[in-house]
Structure 1
């Protein structure tokens, strides 16, 4: 018996030793009250058969097991469940036998059913998908902790995970079939299957021994009838989940009905009349993919007919929309990596198996262009598992998982209607059930299709006289530290008719000189400034729009002198905090810019209410001059952002009527598209007159923020990148 609770108690309560005669030859793990999961080749060895035998063991073939940490020395008898016998095979499709010594292979899973109850103290193991950063351990067949192996996942190569062995015992066949245990996350993340050792006499520092394990997604795909596995007890978000459920499920009957149906789906016993919200939530959080199953059931639950005399009738089937959204947010907090039910994921995996044109790595780069590091994937199913763990960015109505499936559908359509049309139908069904707007999905699909269409080469003829090409842009998403002197940032490039490209990411804090030096590097290597120089845009939180980014310089380290983009390039600031609420006004003011009026906000408007009222009264104002004491700049700039103002010009130090008149004269009669160039020239003039310390070109800031050409994660919608 287990003496006390330790860090590996859940592992010990579920670890099974598979025996042949009087010695252990492999391992397994308890996944339900009477079900043990192991490798098929371990069962073959226990029955004295060839390791890769494929025929199903007969009803009279029994396997001896022990749960060494729960009931040492107590033998248990089990039989193979015919419907859960998946012998080793060479390929994903078909049943070709495995050639000895060749890895990886597919299948190699078996579920054993105990002929009697498990000993007291035995508990099914919790399961989670593996994490590349976490160290794992594997116990030898006997369960003795001394020959424990330590390993770290290196790469996912479906259906296996490759792990580098860090230390512990030498990996031998006795580890096969055993659970791969993640100590930090307290969960089984795979089933040990094989090992590849470095050749004898290998040079020091050569690649360490590699251990292979069958991944949790592969286990779920190979054994679709296996009851959903348990997961580690959730703590974060459970109270939020209970509160949200209480608002959506009205009445005891609703709770009882949902608990009974959820228990049936998850293969767990129902509490019957004793069920309550705590039992319902506990059931969902204790089982892998239990939370998506709960949401699916709650959404389908038919509430009782509305009482005509009820003073607070429920709007719609699921209560108020905000209650449903609150439930979805709570669910993502409890299980951030689970979006699909078991059936939904299985359907998707079946369709992806027929996709041949889409590269999974390229897919992730397109769906997650702002991710500093992409997950290592080797197949589309693996890529979908990765995308499932990413939440929607602020304002993006289509989650990354659905974006990925839409992109696969568009790319696969070139090969025929199947599976593209079925993928589209799958997306529409999942979107409807998860609250994603159908119009948003349709628009996203249309834009991806348009972007994938081949560009037609115009016929030879006279030069075009239409709209000139858009100037290249270098866009710096800047996150200041609390002092405002150190920054982390990422730099994007954007050129006409080309998608945004992430050129540089700096996660370590750096000063302004390093920022400018990196901008110069990007300009030299990533941007073609012909015939027009680039527009340099700093995306800043609203609280930091007053940063003097236009005066930043690189170190004076070469014969060319310091690089000062504030006078050699058009430097403007933009905000990272455009909300969907301000988007309509933002577009409206931008569209009206050619004929828009100028508005001055001065010392009379430093009260937020007064400033906002002025902006509401002058909804046709596209350019705003802020001219007040610097302490109030932040307040007025925030009001301008919330009101959707496109262009704001202000002096960071000086204020007064003369400054307001100078700045008005600067933009008066100037086309709004030329404002950044006009401001650049004023800064250059001020620099060219060092004796003039009051030139208004010094410390001149320009917020120039149209709805167009925003980096993907800063766009109001996932596809609003280039059109105002």
Structure 2
């Protein structure tokens, strides 16, 4: 790009955001460096892992799924800020030209890579670098793993055979040394990393002395790294944003060539092209010529295809000076072509900056706002990963914006074939409606300007704004309802469960907010997850949330209500049963009953009129219970079960099979004489207030050792779907689309 030039800034700025410090086992020293790839993955050298573990440096033995301490210099430099990363891929060091071990004294070797995985994605400013192939003659920069600004070492690729690049340094400044291995080799001229630091050349005995090699080191080329990672199945996902950033800046020639036409129509006049290009360069932080010339249309097209936010920034500049309908059509054509590239993005530099400021402020006031707004605004598509949790921290806002920029547009019809409303703008409208006041007006003004720049018809934006207002009004009085499903695999530990969590929307549909099905979790972990989801759901804080936990028949005895979700910073324990209407459900028993679904609906509808049934010593066996539920208690919605554990469990199961929606028992009772212990829970009072009475009783029981009862409550609200009943509709057809009745095996497991 001759007319546009990179700024005269610190050439390491982009790469240091991806630099990783790998710490020794005792966190007392820097074992080496690494580089952030994308998502939760980091790349370093295998010998850096060995050094961190105190093993022989070039040992080829896979240490297994070990956990190392790492940190990001872009965030902090102290050991106290370390994060844990697990080893997930291992490419052992090997001799340069065969698969054997590396001999002592070797000057170079092959392999020697390790991929680590963090427990969660790092916050900005940590971000992936762009990668491209190494070639001879490149000037590159490396850093010590600690990331200190003064630790950079500038070298030149003196020789490169496609696998290894030899790096020669000047006789002044820092040299590549211990602690640099695994870090990126950054080419400022290319704006990309081109390889990893591997080692330094030390003089062998007799061949030559230190005067010849005092500043020579070597690195593994990116082309070789890419090949090695592919061999072990650790190559980045080509569909992920991070992988796209790593794929290089290769311009799609066809798209670039197609952009030339609309650019000629819009900026054929060199004077206008120079003015808009100068403004564009200033917004992007690029230097531009001041000699009165203008860039060629082809050079401008290449910039739009390769520099992030260049196209929407130019469109923002052009939108105010369009020449009628023809100019608008050409700009729409240019924006449509931009969607075929990875670099364009949705927002201009100024639009992006303004939204980050607004959302950062709102997130600090209400961490659950953006997840709630996204769940309501995009009810029939999978939410971006950053918005599936109940809360979003301010440092997560840039990642959420980036993900929403890439999400599909509005599926509803639009007038005159105008562009559809992007998902990001829809979420902005819902967040504005939920916020109110001046903040609402500021967000709506921002959304209106972006929509106008994109050519979106005013009626399309107005319709979504009205939808958001109705949702906000409707959600104000809606109580929080959270669905939890617990399951176990045969090999899981007895005291751990896998879980999935949904929160119910105001319109009766469910949003999957979190899943723990990938590994078994403790009760404390599950309780914390439930508390986070319930606390961030719409309506949180207005009343007590209902948490309905679906379990297997043999897990109805679980003390889920006693699971403590308090964090380490809280002053006292917080069992789930204290803060929520914690109730149980058992889908498996319902499905096994031929008439269970109809019985449940009938009994639930009659719950205010029917009398409760007490299943105690007067009911001799299951057949007597069945007789009563089919005759004198045909509409009974509530059963209180007493008696010893074995008999109580059998009666409980038959109650659920007969469609009884409300069953209360004392799971701590051991004999029929313990029945009176439940009286404090008011089992015979108004039925809809029973969950609250049980919660009050639990608060008292948890705090007073003189209260031995532990009430358990099955509450099968006939209007509340079970996890296997949740539906996913086609986003373009709305909730009544043809796929609305799909079963989980057909894809509903990803319903949001």
Same fold (TM over 0.5): no
Structure with the higher helix share, 1 or 2: 2
TM-score (norm 1): 0.36
